[in-house]
Amino acid sequence: MPIQAESAPITSEATPQAHSRHLPLAGTTNFRDLGGYQGLDGRTVRWRKLFRSDHLALLSPESQLQLLRELGVARSADFRGQREQTVDHYAIDGLQHHSLAIEPTLVQRAFSLMQQGQRLTPDHTVVLMQDTYRSFIHDNAAPFAQFFEMLLDSDAPIVFHCTAGKDRTGWAATLLLTTLGVPQDVVLQDYLLTNDYYHRPAEAVAAAAHIPEEVLQVLWRVQEPFLTAAIEPVLQDYGSIPNYVEKVLGVDAKAQQKLAQMYLE
């Protein structure tokens, strides 16, 4: 079913509070603040508490020391797989790194199909992406449960990310914002902002030179059907995302109220 709700459109840059949603953190392209969205009881998500991003391994020393410190970001939730974390490792003074690894099986499946001589088409790639999102619901529930544990443990500013900050990160943002009462159409708009900001790094472009560009446009961007592929079965089986968060991730109603107290104003 389509994602529907009524709400005012969001802006990707300027806001009434004069905060910027997209932050020019050198070495990233998709570092964004989740603040300002209207949630439960008309309260809004606190600014400068919850950040989503692509990976942080390419941050310049200047941005590490200055902007992250100014933002007060004290911890990171890293959804990248173990090899991704090893290849693009980062250690930033004052930033506690937490590995919540989810392995990128989509890429492995795509390369396996091509090695078998199959031609990877955009339509086939969309199906692979949808399968990936469905795998988040149960197969990879544990890392998302750990993410909520981190959020409940402290309201110190946090950045959560994967490699591009779009799929694993996009599902984490969907769970969090919806639990905080942000309407689903706004959640979707935030999800789609990746298409405005994320840029493939040069090494990724070179490594994927043999893959058709129309396929890469699916792999490196986001589409509503990706997110809907996870949302629809959650709604069918649990009635709502907050119910799923309670029954599968173990974040009960009392804990969800605590989240609202911590991250809404």
Give residue-wise pLDDT tens across range 119-161. Answer: 788 998 999 999 999 999 999 999 999 999 999 999 999 999 9
Q: What pLDDT shows up at residue 108?
A: 66
Q: What pLDDT shows up at residue 61?
A: 83
Q: What pLDDT shows up at residue 105?
A: 79
- Chain centroid to CA 81: how far? 14
Q: What pLDDT shows up at residue 10?
A: 44
pTM: 0.90
How far apart are the C-alpha atoms of 194 and 54, rounded to whole Å? 10
Q: Under a CB-based contact definition with an 8 Å cutoff, are residues 34 and 181 in contact?
A: no
Q: Under a CB-based contact definition with an 8 Å cutoff, are residues 53 and 27 in contact?
A: no
Structure token pair of residue 40: 């439960």
Going by the DSSP 8-state scheme, the letter that residue 119 receives in this structure is P
Q: Is 22 exposed, middle or buried (0-12, 13-18, 19+ CB in 10 A)?
A: middle
Largest CA distance in the chain: 54
Domain-wise residue ranges, the chain: 32-263
Identify the sign of the CA torsion 205, 208, 213, 218. negative
Q: Which of 84, 69, 60 is nearest to 162 (CA)?
A: 84
Per the listing, tokens 């149960």 go with 138
Residue ranges of the chain whose pLDDT lies below 50: 1-17
What CATH number should be reported for the domain whose range is 32-263? Answer: 3.90.190.10
